[in-house]
Amino acid sequence: MTNVLICDPVDEGAVKKMTQAGLKVETKKGIPPAELLKCVGNYQALVVRSATKVTKDVIAQGKNLKIVVRGGVGLDNIDRAAAKAANIEVQNTPEASSISVAELTLGMMFTLCRKLSAADASVKQGKWEKKKFAGRELWKKNLGLVGIGRIGFETAKRAIGLGMTVQAYDPYLKPVPESITKLGIKMVAQLDDLLKTADFISFHLPLTDKTKHMINSRTLGLMKPTTVIVNCARGGIIDEAALAEAIKSEKIAGAAIDVYESEPVKPDNPLLGLGDKILLTPHLGASSKEGQARVGEAVADKLISYFEKK
């Protein structure tokens, strides 16, 4: 019997599918790190989302582990080097949540620029402050995408449909796929050039040593005072203290942030208290009903396929 431990929330349909395929599935949502270390040796497979960290110690204790599947895009919460050394396969489901994250990216841009959150709160307080909430359009604005993988491409398609122009920076995309040039996305060779010209800048790349704090005091200083930045990718790409200062000093117009350097957000986070110039959400990227179902199904399919081949 193949034992599977699900550590983070996964769609119930996926659990049923795995069970029907003959896998013995146990769910321990939000399992504490110490408990995971004690029990991981009992399982051949782990399923995680973004919350559970599959550390070097977890890998070392997972004497029977064959595979770890991350439901989602990134793999930065899994020690891949340790897994490789232990001959443990690591997979993720980058295709499943792309549409949900792309829609959230555009939704956050609309919400921030039309001041929807503040306007909603105002009306619910019995006020009618129509002139106070005049906003900005996305139409004919330039969207700069830092990273143009699956999510970046889905975002670009929707932005172009809204009448935006799109440019992208991605040094790892060589050669550039024909689908990108056909869509009308302009590729730029230097990140600084994108930062200087974009009206909106959205990030779609993993957190690595190279991308950590790539948006900092220097790079924020390159942006136009009307620029809005959006991060639905990974916390840590943006230096939060530098971003807060840039918004306070009006070096940029605002930001919409879904991911943070430390999650959950702590009370002393510098992004709090910036008013309607910033929109903050609690890591909702893939949190749509449809997205969750696709992620769960992809996780189930990958596990079933892996063990059928063994």
pLDDT for the residue numbered 86: 97
Is 234 in the active site? yes
Domain 3-93+290-308 and domain 98-280 have a common topology: yes
Mean pLDDT of 89-118: 95
**Tokens, residue 17:** 């599918």
Residue 294 has pLDDT above 80, yes or no: yes
The set of residues, in sequence order, having a beta carbon less than 8 Å from that of 4 and lying 6+ positions away, is 18, 23, 24, 25, 26, 43, 44, 45, 46, 47, 303
Mean pLDDT of 148-158: 96
Domain ranges, ordered by start, for the chain: 3-93+290-308, 98-280
Residues 265-291 have pLDDT tens digits of 999 999 998 999 999 999 999 889 999
DSSP state of 117: H
**Tokens, residue 126:** 């019995």
pLDDT for the residue numbered 73: 80
Mean pLDDT of 200-217: 95
Q: How confident is the model at residue 137 (pLDDT cuts 50, 70, 90)?
A: very high
Is 283 in the active site? yes
Q: How confident is the model at residue 95 (pLDDT cuts 50, 70, 90)?
A: confident
The gap from C-alpha 244 to its chain's centroid, in whole angstroms, comes to 20
Write down the catalytic residue from 26, 35, 95, 263: 263
Write down the catalytic residue from 234, 261, 294, 297: 234
pLDDT > 70 fraction of the chain, expressed in percent and rounded: 100
Instruction: Say which amino acid occupies 248.
Output: K
Q: Residue 105: name the closest of 259, 298, 221 by CA.
A: 259
Mean pLDDT of 103-123: 97
Q: Residue 7: name the closest of 33, 19, 17 by CA.
A: 33
CATH number of 98-280: 3.40.50.720
Q: Report yes or no: 26 and 3 within 8 Å, Cβ to Cβ.
A: yes
Q: How confident is the model at residue 63 (pLDDT cuts 50, 70, 90)?
A: very high
Write down the catalytic residue from 49, 70, 136, 283: 283
Residue 65 has pLDDT above 80, yes or no: yes
Mean pLDDT of 78-105: 94
CATH number of 3-93+290-308: 3.40.50.720
Length of the chain: 310
Q: Which residues, in sequence order, are bridge partners of residue 89?
A: 67
| pTM for this predicted structure | 0.87
d(CA 26, CA 15): 9
Residue 74 has pLDDT above 80, yes or no: no
d(CA 291, CA 101): 9
Mean pLDDT of 243-262: 97
Phi, psi of 297 (to 5 degrees): -65, -40
